[in-house]
């Protein structure tokens, strides 16, 4: 059945070769180029590239059928697609593009397999079979789910995880000959490939296990490659727009707002526009195929960190970094030029809920609160089971925490709830029996408090879209700024 489907995508890296200064012209059939170092490598690279992506029919020199387009005309097609000068001959600029990491679907619409093919439903199952050894399984699960969410948020599509080997989209890692007649070629070559929507192998996505898969800018970012591949698995073809996720070449890009307006128009043309949907909670394990839904709904505000009305649910130091939580989204700031962002589950895979409050205990764990319970995390790794906040000594009347902050020089952690705050002794692990009024001890601070951070001897209270710098020695507010100024806005 697999041979009935066109191989949609193969990310390919061709072995680089040196380009020397032009010395003399060499002709090989229809090929005319300037000779330099490793000329033969460039000829082979160009011939394979045009054959693979522009359907150039190669054969013995002088024996090409008259009905077949020439190499020069096919090269012009390639140059046209990438908006290069259409010279019809190889040059430094054209060869440089040929050596870029890229996806292997033919670039000209005429050669795209099953153009306009789509799933005939909006709920699509997926399953992860063989995993990579480069990343923890829960990280792979999270990155694959986040890559599908890219398309779920822009369309009416919903994806659910399945344990079935007959899921619509099968995701697997393999090397060399891995069962689909399209073998991988080892490190620094083919990265991944996918198939058009349909039965059997249709919609499946495979990744080359011989590559280095990461969740950041080292090696190849699994989230970025998977998001592109899933676009093909849903029926999309390549774009000529370099800002589009469906542009052929692999490139690092912002993890937020992954899709261009063109990507959104194209997915909507196949499946219709996005609908505002509630978050699908984790379902019981007897729901079809032991599944859970992706396609979480993120409010529009988190898409723009510089929205003047942006507020945070919680903020905390974690070592030298600062974590900012908003709905199910997270920014991690190490310095003003190093900010990572994405769904919370992309960084802490076992958490799929909002974080109401958070604080870090130096040289220990981070505590994340949601409703009447909390988790302990060591940077981004879960270190314990979900527990109830009553274990801190809160009375049953306290059903959530608005904000929390640890004061290192006193050993106390302050918990803010509505217009009151509680003081917890981390050394003795005891809670003071009665709360205090915020207005009495922190005059000038509005309530409820969204988040609190202790930094450089000052308390910083986040209240809605503003942050108050508070001098505890003189008990007064000394500065008010926009909350997102901490993200460089």
Q: Are residues 230 and 375 in the same domain?
A: no
Residues 374/383, Cβ–Cβ less than 8 Å = no
Q: Are residues 90 and 146 in the same domain?
A: no
**Alpha-helical regions (H) of 7-131:** 39-54, 71-81, 92-98
- Domain with residue 451: its CATH number is 2.110.10.10
The verdict on residue 174 lying in a domain is yes
Helices 222-233 and 137-152: crossing angle, nearest 10°?
50
Q: Are residues 44 and 91 in the same domain?
A: yes
> What would the pLDDT profile of 455-471 be if each residue is shown by its tens digit?
989 999 999 999 999 99
> What would the pLDDT profile of 85-115 be if each residue is shown by its tens digit?
999 988 989 998 888 777 766 777 543 334 4
Closest CA to 279 of 340, 343, 374, 373: 343
Q: Are residues 266 and 318 in the same domain?
A: no
Q: Is 393 annotated as a binding residue?
A: no
Look at residue 325 and tell me whether its pLDDT is greater than 80.
yes
- Domain with residue 151: its CATH number is 3.40.390.10
- Which residue did the predictor score with more confidence, 126 or 255? 126
The verdict on residue 1 lying in a domain is no
The verdict on residue 44 lying in a domain is yes
Q: Are residues 177 and 43 in the same domain?
A: no
Q: Is 436 annotated as a binding residue?
A: no
pTM of the model: 0.53
Closest CA to 161 of 152, 153, 170: 170
Look at residue 303 and tell me whether its pLDDT is greater than 90.
no
Look at residue 4 and tell me whether its pLDDT is greater than 70.
no
Q: Are residues 374 and 415 in the same domain?
A: yes
The verdict on residue 370 lying in a domain is yes
Structure tokens at 29: 């059939």
Q: Is 186 annotated as a binding residue?
A: yes
Confidence of residue 18 (pLDDT cuts 50, 70, 90): very low
Q: Is 198 annotated as a binding residue?
A: no
The verdict on residue 356 lying in a domain is yes
Q: Is 210 annotated as a binding residue?
A: no
CA distance 377 to 385: 10
Q: Is 193 annotated as a binding residue?
A: yes
Q: Is 238 annotated as a binding residue?
A: yes
Q: Is 228 annotated as a binding residue?
A: yes
DSSP 342: E
CA distance 413 to 417: 13
Q: Report the number of distinct structural domains present in the chain.
A: 3
> Which active-site residues does the annotation give?
229
The verdict on residue 182 lying in a domain is yes
C-beta contacts of 260-265 below 8 A and 24+ residues apart:
263/154, 263/231, 263/236, 263/239, 264/154
Q: Are residues 461 and 403 in the same domain?
A: yes
298 CB-near residues (< 8 Å, 6+ apart): 153, 327, 328, 329, 343
> What would the pLDDT profile of 218-250 be if each residue is shown by its tens digit?
888 999 999 999 998 999 988 889 889 988 888
The verdict on residue 213 lying in a domain is yes
Instruction: Transcribe 97-130 into DSSP letters.
Output: HHTS-B--S-SSGGG-TTTT---SSSEEEEEE-S
- Residue numbers of the domain that contains 74: 17-98
pLDDT score recorded for residue 58: 53
Q: Are residues 373 and 456 in the same domain?
A: yes
Q: Which of 271, 292, 327 is a domain's end point?
A: 271
Q: Are residues 309 and 452 in the same domain?
A: yes
The verdict on residue 29 lying in a domain is yes
> What would the pLDDT profile of 71-80 be if each residue is shown by its tens digit?
888 899 889 8
> What would the pLDDT profile of 203-222 be if each residue is shown by its tens digit?
999 998 998 999 888 888 99
CA distance 275 to 386: 33
pLDDT score recorded for residue 289: 27
Q: Is 246 annotated as a binding residue?
A: yes
Q: Which of 216, 249, 271 is a domain's end point?
A: 271
Sheet harboring 192-195: ordered strands across?
7-10, 192-195, 205-208, 169-174, 123-128, 158-161
Q: Are residues 267 and 345 in the same domain?
A: no
Q: Is 1 annotated as a binding residue?
A: no
Confidence of residue 253 (pLDDT cuts 50, 70, 90): confident
Look at residue 313 and tell me whether its pLDDT is greater than 90.
yes
pLDDT score recorded for residue 105: 66
Q: Are residues 152 and 222 in the same domain?
A: yes
Q: Which of 65, 98, 131 is a domain's end point?
A: 98
Q: Are residues 469 and 329 in the same domain?
A: yes
């Amino acid at each position: 059945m697999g041979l009935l489907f066109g191989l949609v995508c193969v990310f390919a890296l061709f072995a680089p070769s040196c380009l020397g200064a032009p010395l003399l012209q060499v002709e090989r059939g229809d090929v005319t180029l300037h000779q330099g170092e490793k000329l033969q490598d460039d000829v082979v690279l160009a011939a394979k590239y045009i054959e693979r992506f522009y359907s150039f029919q190669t054969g013995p020199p002088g024996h090409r059928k008259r009905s077949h387009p020439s190499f020069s005309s096919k090269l012009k097609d390639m140059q046209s697609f990438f908006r290069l000068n259409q010279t019809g001959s190889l040059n430094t600029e054209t060869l440089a593009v040929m050596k870029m990491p890229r996806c292997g679907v033919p670039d000209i619409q005429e050669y795209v397999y099953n153009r306009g093919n789509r799933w005939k439903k909006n709920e699509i199952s997926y399953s992860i079979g063989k995993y990579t050894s480069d990343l923890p399984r829960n990280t792979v699960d999270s990155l694959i789910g986040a890559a599908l969410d890219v398309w779920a948020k822009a369309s009416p599509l919903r994806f659910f995880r399945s344990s079935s080997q007959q899921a619509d989209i099968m995701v697997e890692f393999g090397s060399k000959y891995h069962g689909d007649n399209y073998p991988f070629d080892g490190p620094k070559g083919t990265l991944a490939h996918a198939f058009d929507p349909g039965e059997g192998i249709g919609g499946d996505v495979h990744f080359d296990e011989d590559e280095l898969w990461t969740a950041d800018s080292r090696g190849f970012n699994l989230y970025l490659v998977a998001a592109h591949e899933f676009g093909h698995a849903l029926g999309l073809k390549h774009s000529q727009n370099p800002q589009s996720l469906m542009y052929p070449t692999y490139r690092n890009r912002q993890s937020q707002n992954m899709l261009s307006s063109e990507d959104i128009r194209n997915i909507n043309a196949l499946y219709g526009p996005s609908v505002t949907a509630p978050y699908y909670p984790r379902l019981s394990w007897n729901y079809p195929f032991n599944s859970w839904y992706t396609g979480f709904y993120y409010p529009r505000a988190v898409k723009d960190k510089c929205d003047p009305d942006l507020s945070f649910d919680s903020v905390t130091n974690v070592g030298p970094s600062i974590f900012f939580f908003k709905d199910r989204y997270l920014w991690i700031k190490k310095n003003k030029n190093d900010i990572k962002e994405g769904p919370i589950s992309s960084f802490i895979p076992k958490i799929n809920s909002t974080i109401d409050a958070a604080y870090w205990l130096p040289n220990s764990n981070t505590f994340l609160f949601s409703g009447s319970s909390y988790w302990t995390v060591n940077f981004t790794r879960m270190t314990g089971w979900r527990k109830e906040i009553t274990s801190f000594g809160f009375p049953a009347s306290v059903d959530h925490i608005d904000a929390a902050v640890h004061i290192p020089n006193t050993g106390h952690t302050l918990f803010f709830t509505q217009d009151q705050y509680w003081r917890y002794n981390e050394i003795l692990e005891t809670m003071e029996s009665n709360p205090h009024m915020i207005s009495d001890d922190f005059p000038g601070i509005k309530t409820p408090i969204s988040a609190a951070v202790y930094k450089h001897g000052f308390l910083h209270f986040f209240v809605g879209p503003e942050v108050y710098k508070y001098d505890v020695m003189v008990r007064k507010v000394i500065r008010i700024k926009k909350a997102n100024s901490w993200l460089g806005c």
